C-alpha cells in the first residue's frame, strides 16, 4: 500500500499559473460550495462521484486534512482523489493528493503555502466504493504547537503507556478500530499486539493490525504489527527507533471476517 503524497507545495498565482495552460482541461461541474479555513466540510460521495469546495486563502501556510470512511463501515478497498482547480473550474493539478488503501477509514494530509491571497478550488472524487468525507484546512503558524484535527468519523484517542506488564486494550469487534497516543523517549522500543478470542476456547483465526501514525494522524508505518494466526491467543511485535522524544498515535484494526477479540498493546524497551 502506497500513499501518493508530495511533502510540500505552493499555490502559484497569476502569470505562474499560465505556464500550466498546455496541460490543463476545463472540468464540467457545478458551482463549488464555500468553505472557510478552520471549518470542516462533510459530504458522502457515491461511486465515481465528486464535490467541489471553494476556499478563500490569505498569504501563509496551511494544512489540508482529509478523512474518508467507507459508507458500509467495513474493512476493504477505499480510494479517493483531490484535485486543485482555478476558481473558474480549470484543472491545475488533477491528482493533488490521493490514496488507495485497504481500510474501513483513512486519513491523509499535506501542508501548502500561499504566496498571495487566492481562492482555491478543491475537488473531492470517490473511486469504485462510496465514501463519506471530511475536509478541513487549518492555518499553520511558525513555531506554533501542532494542532490535532479530530477524526471526522468520531474516533477517540486514548492514552497508551510504557509498561511491560500493564498494557492498554479491551474488546475489539470485526471492522472496528481503536486509537491510542504515546510519547516515546529516545531509544529503541517494542510495540506488541496481543490477541485472544472473546467467545471461543479453541484454535481459530486471530487477525488484526497496528499502524503507526504521527501526531496528526497521518500514516508513518502501515502494519507496524501484524497478527495473522490460527490459535487460541497470539502476540506479535514491531520495533520503533526514536532519535528524540516523539508523540505517536497507534491505530489498532480488527480486519478479520466476523471475529471479536480481546486485545492489548504493550510498549516496552526493545531487547
Asked, for residue 32, whether it belongs to a domain, the answer is yes
Write down the pLDDT at residue 29: 55
Point out which residues pair with 158 in neighbouring strands.
Answer: 180
Same domain (yes/no): 69, 174:
no
Asked, for residue 148, whether it belongs to a domain, the answer is no
The predicted model scores a pTM of 0.84
Write down the pLDDT at residue 112: 92
Point out which residues pair with 137 in neighbouring strands.
Answer: 64
Could you list the residue range(s) of the whole structural domain that residue 126 is in? 3-139
Residue range 219-253, pLDDT digits in tens: 999 999 999 999 999 999 999 999 999 999 999 99
Same domain (yes/no): 107, 12:
yes
Asked, for residue 34, whether it belongs to a domain, the answer is yes
**CA distance linking residue 35 with residue 44, whole number of Å:** 16
Most confident of 1-15, 74-88, 226-240: 226-240
Asked, for residue 112, whether it belongs to a domain, the answer is yes
Asked, for residue 202, whether it belongs to a domain, the answer is yes
Same domain (yes/no): 135, 165:
no
Concatenating the DSSP letter of every residue in the chain gives --EE--SEEEE--HHHHHTTGGG--BPP--PPEE--TT-EEEEEE-TT-EEEEEEEE-SEEEEEEEEEEETT--SEEEEEEEEEE-TTSBEEEEEEEEEEEEESEEEEEEEEEESS-EEEEEEEEE-SS-EEEEEEEEE--TTPPPPPPPPTT---EEE--BEEEEEEEEEE-TT-EEEEEEEEPSEEEEEEEEEEESS--S-EEEEEEEEEE-TTS-EEEEEEEEEEEEESEEEEEEEEEESS-EEEEEEEE--SSS--EEEEEEEEE--
Residue range 20-79, pLDDT digits in tens: 333 333 344 579 999 999 999 999 999 999 999 999 999 999 999 999 999 998 889 999
The CATH number of whichever domain residue 242 belongs to comes to 2.60.120.260
Which residue is it, cell 498546455? 22
Asked, for residue 150, whether it belongs to a domain, the answer is no
Same domain (yes/no): 182, 240:
yes
The CATH number of whichever domain residue 66 belongs to comes to 2.60.120.380
Number of structural domains in the chain: 2
Amino acid at each position: 500500500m502506497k500513499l501518493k503524497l508530495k511533502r510540500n507545495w505552493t499555490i502559484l498565482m497569476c502569470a505562474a499559473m499560465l505556464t500550466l495552460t498546455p496541460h490543463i482541461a476545463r472540468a464540467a461541474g457545478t458551482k463549488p460550495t464555500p468553505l472557510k479555513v478552520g471549518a470542516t466540510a462533510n459530504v458522502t460521495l457515491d461511486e465515481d462521484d465528486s464535490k467541489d469546495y471553494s476556499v478563500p486563502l490569505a498569504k501563509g501556510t496551511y494544512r489540508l486534512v482529509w478523512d474518508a470512511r467507507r459508507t458500509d463501515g467495513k474493512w476493504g478497498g477505499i480510494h479517493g482523489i483531490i484535485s486543485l482547480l482555478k476558481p473558474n473550474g480549470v484543472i491545475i493539478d488533477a491528482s493533488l493528493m490521493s490514496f488507495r488503501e485497504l481500510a474501513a477509514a483513512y486519513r491523509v494530509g499535506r501542508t501548502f503555502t500561499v504566496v498571495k491571497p487566492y481562492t482555491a478550488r478543491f475537488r473531492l472524487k470517490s473511486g469504485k466504493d462510496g465514501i463519506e468525507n471530511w475536509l478541513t484546512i487549518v492555518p499553520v503558524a511558525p513555531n506554533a504547537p501542532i494542532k490535532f484535527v479530530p477524526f471526522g468519523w468520531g474516533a477517540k484517542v486514548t492514552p497508551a503507556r510504557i509498561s511491560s506488564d500493564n498494557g492498554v486494550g479491551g474488546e475489539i469487534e470485526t471492522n472496528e478500530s481503536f486509537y491510542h497516543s504515546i510519547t516515546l523517549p529516545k531509544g529503541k522500543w517494542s510495540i506488541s499486539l496481543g490477541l485472544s478470542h472473546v467467545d471461543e476456547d479453541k484454535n481459530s483465526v486471530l487477525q488484526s493490525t497496528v499502524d503507526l501514525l504521527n501526531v496528526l494522524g497521518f500514516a508513518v508505518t502501515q502494519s507496524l504489527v501484524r497478527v495473522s494466526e490460527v490459535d487460541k491467543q497470539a502476540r506479535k511485535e514491531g520495533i520503533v527507533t526514536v532519535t528524540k522524544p516523539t508523540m505517536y498515535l497507534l491505530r489498532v484494526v480488527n480486519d478479520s471476517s466476523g471475529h471479536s477479540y480481546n486485545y492489548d498493546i504493550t510498549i516496552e524497551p526493545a531487547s
